[in-house]
């Protein structure tokens, strides 16, 4: 399971800037104004072979006892309890403050490892930047610049050193699937229906499950692990700090699973939050099965309306199977479980390089990638780059010019040919320039370089 790293500190010390640097995103708002972050941001990061989850907390004002700042402080303390490691940011330009001392005292009472980080230290030597912060008694201060990236990689290597590298998915001994969805849609009832007994609390009140519950069981002589997760509410309706940070546990459960079972309530409108939860599972690359629960409580006309709404709002889940069930009556559970098995097999499939290359050649013959200017991308061969989700790596020339629409065409082709029902599939590109191109050399061009591209053809690195 990925470790969780919480970014903690008083307002305006650069937590959101560091969050964006670690996640290589701009998900967290950044401005020269304290208290801008009031809700949690969760993101993915990776250092070498070690992926992790990072949480950007709101500014910690420990001296207030009411209002929004008090709630933010209370939630930050809860984040500290949920995290595996804590990065405590202080401002190297402002220097040590009374709030920093109070926060340090609070963090020393926790058993999580704490890393004291002096931000905004660009142009300042490590010893000078951290000199006065030894007073906080949290170990050797580490000087970084979140805005410029100085020292950030070294920091995260130190934070993640005690944690093992990511395990290869192919070593998984048996399927794990997480039951996810909004509160009170029947997740725990579905878990009990699958297990055939009341192993988890099922109650007609939103938010009954506060933690993710892992249960091993056997079905048809095969071993499985089912994960019952806490419901994820829309941000504006999450008031209790403990409930806010059960979102972290849900995210970690999805990361730890091979398959996510998204539970919808047929009696409720398909909401933006349903799409958000599905989107997180998709971003994590997990296979997906959708269970539309409480189907027995609506009539024929309502059923058609629900199906049309699902097609409109969850159309991006076209790779997943949808099942219309009644968890409380136990209807549709057997077929749902067949789809879970099928999605797991698709996610963990092993694809031979010759077959992948032949499918690529046929796809290109049927529809070649479009020309961009005077250049047409040339695709040479393909091989499998990973599982859960299946990753297909295509090698060739000028592949940075392949449009998103053509990538989707290749994904659809591979999914259809190999019958990969229930799992997302990712196509990545590796493009190399010709190192013996004498014309480029004579014009001062650089020798061949490897350009690794993401799913959408955007430049990721140029080693």
pLDDT of the residue at 223: 85
Instruction: Give the model's pLDDT for residue 45.
Output: 87
Place 71 in a pLDDT band, splitting at 50, 70 and 90. low
pLDDT at 287: 95
What order do you get walking across the sheet with 41-47 strand by strand? Answer: 41-47, 50-56, 4-8, 85-91, 114-119, 142-143
- At residue 351 the predicted structure's pLDDT band, cuts being 50, 70 and 90, is very high
User: What's the whole-number mean pLDDT along residues 99-104?
Assistant: 90
Q: Which residues are annotated as a binding site?
A: 9-16, 56-60, 119-122, 181-188, 228-232, 293-296
155-175 average pLDDT score: 76
The answer to whether residue 230 scores a pLDDT higher than 70 is no
Whether the Cβ atoms of residue 119 and residue 90 lie closer than 8 Å to each other: yes
Name the CA radius of gyration of the chain, rounded: 25
At residue 198, the pLDDT reads 55
Q: What is the pLDDT of residue 125?
A: 82
Which residues are within 8 A (CB) of 48 and not within 5 positions of it... i.e. 6 or more apart? 157, 165
Which of 114-123, 194-203, 440-449 shows the lowest per-residue confidence on average (mean pLDDT)?
A: 440-449
Q: Which residue has the higher pLDDT, 353 or 248?
A: 353
Average pLDDT score, the chain: 80
The answer to whether residue 345 scores a pLDDT higher than 60 is: yes
pLDDT for res 262 = 94
Mean pLDDT value across residues 124-134: 87
Confidence band for 41, pLDDT divided at 50, 70 and 90: low
Please state, in angstroms and rounded to a whole number, the distance separating the CA atoms of residues 276 and 278: 5
Q: How far apart are CA 400 and CA 452, in angstroms?
A: 8
Does residue 387 surpass a pLDDT of 80?
yes
Please, where are the H alpha helices in 65-202? Answer: 67-82, 98-108, 126-130, 152-160, 187-195
Q: What is the structure's pLDDT at 208? A: 39
What the chain holds in terms of domains, given with CATH numbers, is: 4-160 (3.40.50.300), 169-347 (3.40.50.300), 353-461 (3.30.300.20)
How does residue 157 score in pLDDT terms, banded at 50, 70 and 90?
A: very high
Q: Which structure tokens are listed for 185? A: 């849609």
Q: Please, what's the largest Cα pairwise distance for the chain?
A: 75
pLDDT in tens, 391-419: 999 999 999 999 999 999 999 999 999 99
CA dihedral over 274, 277, 281, 287, signed as positive or negative: negative
Which residue has better confidence, 219 or 245? 219
CB 122 within 8 A of CB 150: yes
Residue 10's contacts (CB-CB under 8 Å, 6 or more residues apart) are: 34, 59, 60, 61, 97, 99, 100, 103
| Residue 204 pLDDT level (bands cut at 50, 70, 90) | very low
pLDDT of amino acid 177? 92
3-state SS, residue 380? strand
Mean pLDDT on 217-246: 63
Name every residue whose Cβ is closer than 8 Å to that of residue 371 and which is 6 or more positions away in sequence: none
Q: From CA 389, how far away is CA 251, in angstroms rounded?
A: 17
pLDDT at 338: 93
Write out the binding residues for GTP: 9-16, 56-60, 119-122, 181-188, 228-232, 293-296
Contact partners, residue 310, CB within 8 Å, separation at least 6: 264, 270, 290, 292, 322
CA–CA distance from 457 to each of 378, 408, 428 (Å)?
14, 11, 8
Most confident of 171-175, 198-202, 286-290, 432-436: 286-290
pLDDT beyond 50 at 165? yes
pTM for the model stands at 0.62
Whether the per-residue pLDDT at 299 is higher than 50: the answer is yes
Q: How many CA atoms lie within 13 A of 156 on its CB side?
A: 26
Residues above pLDDT 70, as percent of the chain: 76
Residues in the chain: 463
pLDDT above 90 coverage of the chain, percent: 44
Long-range contacts at 46-49 (CB < 8 A, ≥ 24 apart): 47/153, 47/156, 47/157, 47/160, 48/157, 48/165, 49/165, 49/166
At 65, is the pLDDT very low, low, confident or very high (cuts 50, 70, 90)? low
pLDDT at residue 67 is higher than 90: no
Locate 192 and state its tokens.
């009990």
Q: For residue 414, what pLDDT is reported?
A: 96
Q: Which is higher by pLDDT, 88 or 243?
A: 88
């Amino acid at each position: 399971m990925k470790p969780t790293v919480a970014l903690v500190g008083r307002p305006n010390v650069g937590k959101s800037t560091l969050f964006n640097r670690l996640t290589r995103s701009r998900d967290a708002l950044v401005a020269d104004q304290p208290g801008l972050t009031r809700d949690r941001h969760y993101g993915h990061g990776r250092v070498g072979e070690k992926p992790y989850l990072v949480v950007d907390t709101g500014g910690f004002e420990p001296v207030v006892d009411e209002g929004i700042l008090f709630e933010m402080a209370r939630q930050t303390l809860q984040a500290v309890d949920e995290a595996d490691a804590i990065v405590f940011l202080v401002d190297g330009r402002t220097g040590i403050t009374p709030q920093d001392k109070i926060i340090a005292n609070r963090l020393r009472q926790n058993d999580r490892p704490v890393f004291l980080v002096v931000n905004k230290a660009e142009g300042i030597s490590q010893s000078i930047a951290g000199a006065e912060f030894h007073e906080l008694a949290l170990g050797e201060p580490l000087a970084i610049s979140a805005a410029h990236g100085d020292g950030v990689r070294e920091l995260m290597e130190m934070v993640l050193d005690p944690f093992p590298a990511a395990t290869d998915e192919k070593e998984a001994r048996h399927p794990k699937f997480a039951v996810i969805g909004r509160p009170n849609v029947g997740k725990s009832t579905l878990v009990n229906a699958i297990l055939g007994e009341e192993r988890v609390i099922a109650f007609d009140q939103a938010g009954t499950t506060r933690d993710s519950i892992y249960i091993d069981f056997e079905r048809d002589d095969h071993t499985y692990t089912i994960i019952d997760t806490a419901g994820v509410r829309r941000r504006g309706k999450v008031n209790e700090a403990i409930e806010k940070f059960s979102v972290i546990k849900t995210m970690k459960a999805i990361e730890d699973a091979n398959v996510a079972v998204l539970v919808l309530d047929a009696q409720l409108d398909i909401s933006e939050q349903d799409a958000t939860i599905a989107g997180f599972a998709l971003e994590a690359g997990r296979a997906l099965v959708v269970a539309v629960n409480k189907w027995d409580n609506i009539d024929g006309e309502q059923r058609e309306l629900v199906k049309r709404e699902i097609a409109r709002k969850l159309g991006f889940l076209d790779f997943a199977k949808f099942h219309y069930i009644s968890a409380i009556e136990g209807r549709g559970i057997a077929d749902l479980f067949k789809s879970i098995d099928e999605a797991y097999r698709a996610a963990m499939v092993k694809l031979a390089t010759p077959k992948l290359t032949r499918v690529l050649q046929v796809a290109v013959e049927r529809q070649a990638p479009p020309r961009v200017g005077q250049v047409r991308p040339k695709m040479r061969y393909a091989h499998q780059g990973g599982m859960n989700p299946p990753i297909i790596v295509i090698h060739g020339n000028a592949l940075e010019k392949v449009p998103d629409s053509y990538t989707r065409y290749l994904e659809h082709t591979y999914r259809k040919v190999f019958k990969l029902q229930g799992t997302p599939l990712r196509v990545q590109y590796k493009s190399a320039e010709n190192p013996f191109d004498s014309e480029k050399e004579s014009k001062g061009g650089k020798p061949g370089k490897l350009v690794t591209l993401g799913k959408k053809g955007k430049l990721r690195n140029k080693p």
